[in-house]
Amino acid sequence: MAGVTSSTGISSTLGTYSGITSQDIDKLIEAESVPLLKLTNRKTQITDQQNAWKDVKLRLNTLFTKIENLQKNSTFNTRVITSSNKDKVTMSATDGADIQDYQLTVDKLATASKQVSGDIPGLAGKTIYEKLAKTGNLEITNHDGKVSMIEVTDEDSLKEITNKINATTKESGIKASIVNNRLVVASVETGEKNIQIGGDLAGDLGFSASEATYTKGQNAEFTIDGMKVTRPTNIISDVVENVTITLKAETKEPVTIGMTNDDDKLVVAVKELVDQYNSVMDFIAEKLAVGDPSKKDNKTGALAGDSSLIRLQSSLRMLMTGAPGENGTTSILKSAEIGIDSKDKTSTVKFDETIFREALKKDPEAVKNFFYNKVPQEVESVDKEGNKVITTEKVDIGYTKKLKELMNTYLSDEKGQKSVFTTRTETLSQNLKELDSRIELFTERIDKKRDYYVKTFSRLDQVMMQAESQMAYLQSQMDSFSAK
């Protein structure tokens, strides 16, 4: 009889004589597979822990970025520039610029020197892309006396000649263009810079003295806070320290340029730090949650009881809400005095923008030093002769310093010292590897056990079948004797 197999591959006709079916063997295997189920569940648990630590790292990296933003001068000193006439004058400034207003009047804009050719012989009736059938050299001398030699062949068009000139622009400082079928050669830089055009092809390209038009460039002339200034360019960065002035048009009335500090940028940076801290702490609390152990179906967080994460939670809370000194700052300000305070004395922190802006308005330098500052500190060392040398170095202090150090212990591997994240992930990976080996060995043992049961009960069926056959034979013999 053909056998129908079960889901485990055991023939369903196995128990024809013994009564032991494939389902019975499956139940036996299931009973012996309880340890395998525990191993599989443990593997799932460790995988969840790995994923949870990856999420912790991702959130800490984001928090690290927010901390670093509050250690940058640009966060505290970005300037906001206003102009009473942006079409005439604009200004930009670095974080080192002094906050000050300026009055500017533009008398002249800087222009570039240029030569425009006259009518070009042989171009009439042709496009700028057709060959001119002219051969020779064009010599262009810039304001530094450097000569660029442009070789022209009889295959070149006016457009190709322009391209050849522009190919030397980087070295020569001269550029070319075509306007109304005339060749225009100009200085790249503005200001009073001379351009001379010669060569045996100058006349054939309209640059003879009688045909060409030469316009010499001029310097920019403007007044800033009553002081006359002349510069060869309209973009001036050497008049006011850390400030770049851009002249766009001549003015009849003075243009007022205002400069203030971008407090909004700093407010956003602090708010982002607080928001990210709260996000990290909420996530940590979720992963450390023990739930309600009294409930039968209680669910715990993936990292419940993880000592490394518990230390991180405690350290972060202390640094964000601690008193001066505890959080690494020697500032006389407390975090609550600039609007950063714990909410209901929990791990969550709130940010009061109104308090922060008031503190910033009262003493912006104190607020900056609260977050980050460098202070001189004496450092003792020994020189080559063995003499003691004391030098002064600047060291970091401030609210963000200790926070950053904490982030580094969890995120960065430095000088042979592994981070907490690296240590935890390596341990979990090793545990997974060991579990996989145990699961593989146990699975092989279960497979062998199943084979053993199949073979054993198959033989039992065969013995019982033979016994039944022998009984039938004996019964037939007995029946034959009885018939006689």
- DSSP letter string over 337-386? GGTEEESTTSS-EEE-HHHHHHHHHH-HHHHHHHH-EEEEEEEEEE-TTS
Residue at 68 is within a domain: no
Residue at 308 is within a domain: yes
Same domain membership, residue 408 and residue 289: yes
pLDDT at 4 over 50: no
pLDDT at 327 over 60: no
pLDDT of 14 reads 59
CATH of the domain at 183: 2.60.40
Q: Average of pLDDT values for 308-317? A: 92
Residue at 72 is within a domain: no
Same domain membership, residue 345 and residue 325: yes
For residue range 65-122, list pLDDT tens digits in order: 999 999 998 899 899 999 999 999 999 999 889 999 999 999 999 999 999 999 998 8
Q: For the chain, how many structural domains are there in total?
A: 3
For residue range 40-67, list pLDDT tens digits in order: 888 888 899 999 999 999 999 999 999 9
Residue at 100 is within a domain: yes
Instruction: Count Cβ atoms below 10 Å from residue 468 Cβ, excluding itself.
Output: 11
% of the chain surpassing 90 pLDDT: 55
% of the chain surpassing 70 pLDDT: 88
> Can you tell me the distance from the alpha carbon of 212 to that of 333, in angstroms, rounded to the nearest whole number?
72
Same domain membership, residue 292 and residue 372: yes
Residue at 475 is within a domain: no
Please tell me the least confidently modeled range out of 32-36, 176-180, 414-418, 429-433: 32-36
The rounded mean pLDDT for the chain is 86
> Can you tell me the distance from the alpha carbon of 188 to that of 111, in angstroms, rounded to the nearest whole number?
10
Same domain membership, residue 408 and residue 311: yes
Q: Average of pLDDT values for 171-178? A: 94
- pLDDT band at residue 229, thresholds of 50, 70 and 90? very high
For residue range 351-390, list pLDDT tens digits in order: 999 999 999 999 998 999 999 888 887 778 888 888 888 8
Nearest by Cα to 218 from 105, 107, 111, 106:
111
Same domain membership, residue 203 and residue 156: yes
Same domain membership, residue 94 and residue 232: yes
pLDDT at 322 over 90: no
Domain span including residue 343 = 264-269+285-412
